[in-house]
Chain A
Amino acid sequence: MTQRITIDPITRLEGHGKIEIFLDDDGNVANTYFQIPELRGFERFCVGRPVEEMPLLTNRICGVCPEAHHMAAAKAADAVYHVDVPRTGKMLRELLYSAFYCTDHTTHFYALAGPDFVMGPDAPVAERNILGVIHKVGLEIGGKVIQMRKYGHTVVEMIGGRKVHPCTSIPGGLTKGITEEQRKEIEEMGKWAIEFAHFSLKLFADVVLGNKAYVDLILGDVYTHQTYYMGLVDENNKVNFYDGKVRVVGPDGKEFVKYSPKDYAEHIAEHVEPWTYLKFPYLKKVGWKGFTDGKDSGVYCATPLSRLNAADGMATPRAQEEHDKMYKTLGGKPVHQRLATHWARLIELLYAAERWVELVTDPEITSPNFHAIPTEKPTEGVGIVEAPRGTLTHHYWTDERGVVTKVNLIVGTTNNYAPISMSINKAASSLIKKGTVVTEPLLNMVEMAFRAYDPCFGCATHSLPGQMPLEITIRDAQGNPVQVLKQFVD
C-alpha cells in the first residue's frame, strides 16, 4: 500500500511551510517536496518608494532578522548614491550587527537546536524544548540566555533607535552616533558576551562532543551533503558579517570564485519550480542540475558552517582557536556534515562578541563623523551582508531623484532552499525504510535535517518568522490519517 506523509504546519491553515514525503509501494521514500506557500511581494511594492526608506521598509520582511535587511538595504542605498560611509559610520553599523548576531545565534542554539542535543532527539516531546534544556543543565543558564538577548537588543536600540526594526541607517551612514557613556556600557556588555560565548562552547563540548552517540550522529552519512559553500570574507579571507567579497568554495574546499557584491548576478541565478512560491538559487556557472550535490551541481549552501568552510579562518583570536579546534576534530576543511552547523554557529557567536568589543574600543567609535552627505546622482546599487541564515543580497535601481524603479532580493534562507530540500530527502530516505514504524522521534530526526539550517521563512516568503511549528500526519493511500505526530516548538 502506498503512503503519503505530510508534514504540515502546526495549523494546516497557517501556510508557512510544508513537507510532503511520498513512499513507494515497498514503503521506501519515493520523493519529498518542501513547499513554501506564501509570497508578499516586496520586489513589487517597494517600487516608487524613496531609496532612503528601503532600510525601513525591508526591515518588515523579517522581524527575526530586521537588522540584516536594514544593513543590506543601507549598503545598497549607499551604492545607489556612490557614497562612501565614513569609518565611524561603518563601525557603528557593524557594532550593531555584531550585537544582533550574538542575540540571534543564542536564541537559535538554546531554544531551537539545543533541545535535540541536550535532551536527545528521542526525548519525550514535552521535554524537548528550552525549558527541558534549562531543567537539565540548570536554571542559571536560562538567566544567562535572557541576559544575552537583553544585552544584544540594548545595543541594537542604542545605535539603531529601536529594538525591533531599527531606523537609523541612511544612505551615507547613520542619523546618530554614540556618546562616551554609551560606549562604556556597550563595552561592558560585549565583554560579558565573550564570556557567554565561551560558556556556550564549553556546554557544547561537554554535552554534545562528550557523548559518542551525538558525535556519531554528527559524523554519520544521514546528514551529509557535498555542496559548494558561500560566505562573505574580508581582505584576508576571514569571515566577516557586514562587509567584504562573497567567496564560494567547491565541495573539495578550493576557492571556486570570489566576487564583489555588484557582480552577484553573474554568479547567482534562481531556478523556479511550479509547486512552491520560493525560488532555488544556484551557481550560474555550474548550472542547475536538480536536487543533487557534487561538483557538477550548482547547489550551494550559505550557513554558519558554510561561512567557515568558505573562509580561511576567523578575524579574532579566540574564535580562530575554536575554529581550528573544530576542523581538527572533524578532519579538516570543508566539513560536509550539516549537523556541525550548530558548532560553527557557536564559533560565530564568539567571533561576533569579540568583534563587538574590538569595534566599541576603537578610539573613533564615538566620533561625530558618522554620516557623509551623498553628492553623486543616484543610479543603481547592490548591498550584501551575511544574514545569520545566509548571504543576503539587495539590489536597487532608482531614477535620478533616488526613487526606486526596480528591486531584486535574494534573502538569507532562500540560498539554502535547495540544500534544505535535499537534506530532508536524504534524511527521510535513510531513516524511513520498508517496514520501519514511523515514530515521532524518527520524524524529529528528519526535521533535524532542516533545523541545522535554522530556516526562517519569514525572510523567504515574508510570512513565517523564525521557527517552524509542524504537525505531521501520516496517511494511507486513501488519505485517511494513520498517525498524527507533532513537532515541538520553542
Chain B
Amino acid sequence: MSKPKFAMYWAASCGGCEIAVLNIHEKILDVDANFDVVFWPVAMDAKYKDVEAMEDGSILLTLFNGGIRNDENEHIAHLLRKKSKILVAFGSCACEGCIPGLANFSPINEIVETAFSTISTDNPQGIRPQTSYQMPEGEIHIPTLYPVLRTLDSVVDVDYYMPGCPPESHQIGAVIDLVVQVLQGKAELPPKGATIGAGNSTVCDECKRTRNVKTIKEFSRIQLMHADPELCLLEQGIPCNGVATRSGCDARCPTAGAQCIGCYGPAEGVIDYGARLVSAFASVIDANDPAEIDRILDGLVDPAGQFYRFNLAGSLLKAGKSAFQRSNV
C-alpha cells in the first residue's frame, strides 16, 4: 500500500517555520518513513503543476505557513485546500497574521511610499513599482499586493491551527508522533478547528519565575533596569504578555530573561487577546483611582503593538478581514 501524502508550503512567510521543521532533526526520518512527501518547496523538487494534477483530497496532511499578502498566496491556499484532507494553519502568520500583520495598521500605499522614500533611496522621479511595465523587449509583470495581510482561514477552511512564531521543534515532533499514531490506528484526531502542538493554559502557567502577587506602581522597560532573574517580569513592571498567551513553548522567553511577546497567540478561551491583557495588566496595578490606573497604563508606550503584536490580522479588530472584504467581496 502506498504511503499517505504530506505537503508543506510557505506563503508570505519569513522561512522560520521551515527552519523549525528542519530543526526536528532525526524526526524528519519519521516523516520520510511514514509519508510520501509530495510537495515541499524548501526540501524537494516537486512543483505547482504536480499538485494541480493530483486528485482532490489526495494529500493527507498539509502544513501551510505564511500569511496571504497577494493573489498568488491566495491561489495556492485554495489549491492546497482542495487537494488536502487535513489542512493545518502552521505558525503564527497563517494562524493570526504575525508581525507582518502589523502592516494592517497602515494603508498599502503608505507602506509602498515609505519603502520608496527612505533617506538612502535615490528616486528623484518618484518611481513606484508598476504591476506591468513595458520594456523595449516586451512587457513584464509583478503581482499586485493586497490592501491588507490576511490569515489563512480568511480565505479557506482550516482544519487545525498550530501556533507559534515559529512553532517550537518539540511541538512539531509531538504533532508528527500523533499523526503517525493516528495512521497506525493507535490514536484519534482532535476535533476539527482545534489548536494542536500547544497547551491549553497560559505561558505564565509554564513559567518558572516566582510570583508574589505583588503590584506595580509603574511600567518599566527591560533595557532600563537589571531585571531580577527569578522574579516574575510583570511584577517587576516589564510588560510581559505571558498571562494572555497560549502555553506550549515552555515559557522560552521569560526563561531567557526576556518578556513574552505573545507569539503563541491567545490562550484557550481568550476571545480578545488585547482585552484580556488589559485586564491582566490592570489587575497588577497598585491603584484604585481610575485616573491613577490610566496614568500607569500610559506608561505602556505602544499599547496597540503591545495588545495586538501578533494577532492584528486575525483579531477582533479585524482590521485585516473587514477592510479586505469591504474592498474585494
Contacts and interface: CB of A to CB of B under 8 A. Distances in A.
Q: Which of B44, B103, B136, B142 has the most CB of A within 10 A?
A: B142
Contact of A15 (B17, B47, B70, B115): B70
B133 A275 contact: yes
Contact of B166 (A62, A165, A284): A165
A277 to B, nearest CB: 5
A63 B14 contact: yes
A77 B302 CA distance: 17
Interface stretch (B177-185, B217-225, B289-297): B217-225
| Contact residues on A (Cβ < 8 Å of other chain), bracket | 35 or more
Contacts of A14: 41, 48, 72, 76
Contacts of B256: 160-162, 167-168, 175-176
Given A170-B258, A488-B45, A175 B222 contact: yes
A274 B14 contact: no
B164 to A, nearest CB: 10
Interface on chain A toward B: helix, strand, loop, or mixed SS?
loop
Nearest to B306: A50
Contact of A153 (B23, B75, B255): B23
Interface in B199-232: 221-227, 229
A467 B301 CA distance: 38
Q: Which of A395, A408, A469 has the most CB of B within 10 A?
A: A469
B96 interface: no
A61 B114 contact: no
Given A33-B135, A272-B116, A471-B48, A81 B142 contact: no
B227 A276 contact: no
Given A60-B16, A63-B18, A168-B257, A81 B122 contact: no
Q: Which of A163, A172, A268 has the most CB of B within 10 A?
A: A163
Contacts of A408: 118-120
Nearest to A397: B119
Interface string A225-245: 000000000000000000000
B137 A30 contact: yes
A274 B128 contact: yes
Nearest to B144: A37
Contacts of B5: none
A112 to B, nearest CB: 11
A64 B19 contact: yes
B247 interface: no
A273 B129 CA distance: 7
A288 B256 CA distance: 46
Contacts of A81: 223
Interface stretch (B82-90, B104-112, B154-162, B266-274): B104-112
Interface string B241-278: 00000000000110111100101000000000000000
B235 to A, nearest CB: 16
Given A43-B114, A64-B15, A125-B45, A33 B140 contact: yes
Interface residues of B, number: 86
Interface in B1-57: 10, 12-20, 22-23, 25-26, 41-45, 47-49, 51
B59 interface: no
B102 interface: yes
A164 interface: yes
B145 A39 contact: yes
Nearest to A51: B223
A15 B73 contact: yes
B120 A288 contact: no
Given A63-B166, A165-B165, A49 B252 contact: no
A56 interface: yes
Interface string A311-326: 0000000000000000
B255 A161 contact: yes
A348 interface: no
A466 B42 CA distance: 8
A469 B137 contact: no
Interface string A3-14: 010000011111
Interface of B: 10, 12-20, 22-23, 25-26, 41-45, 47-49, 51, 66, 69-73, 75-76, 98-100, 102-103, 105-106, 110-112, 114-116, 118-123, 127-130, 133, 135-138, 140, 142-143, 145, 165-166, 169, 221-227, 229, 252-253, 255-258, 261, 263, 301-302, 304-305
Interface of A: 4, 10-15, 18, 20, 22, 30-31, 33, 35-41, 43-46, 48-50, 52-53, 56-57, 59-64, 66, 77, 81, 125-126, 129, 146, 149-150, 153, 160-165, 167-168, 170-172, 174-176, 264-265, 268-277, 279, 281, 284, 288, 371, 373-374, 395, 401-403, 408, 410, 458, 462-467, 469, 471, 486-490
Nearest first, the 6 A-B pairs at minimum CB distance are A465-B15, A63-B16, A161-B256, A175-B257, A11-B48, A41-B111
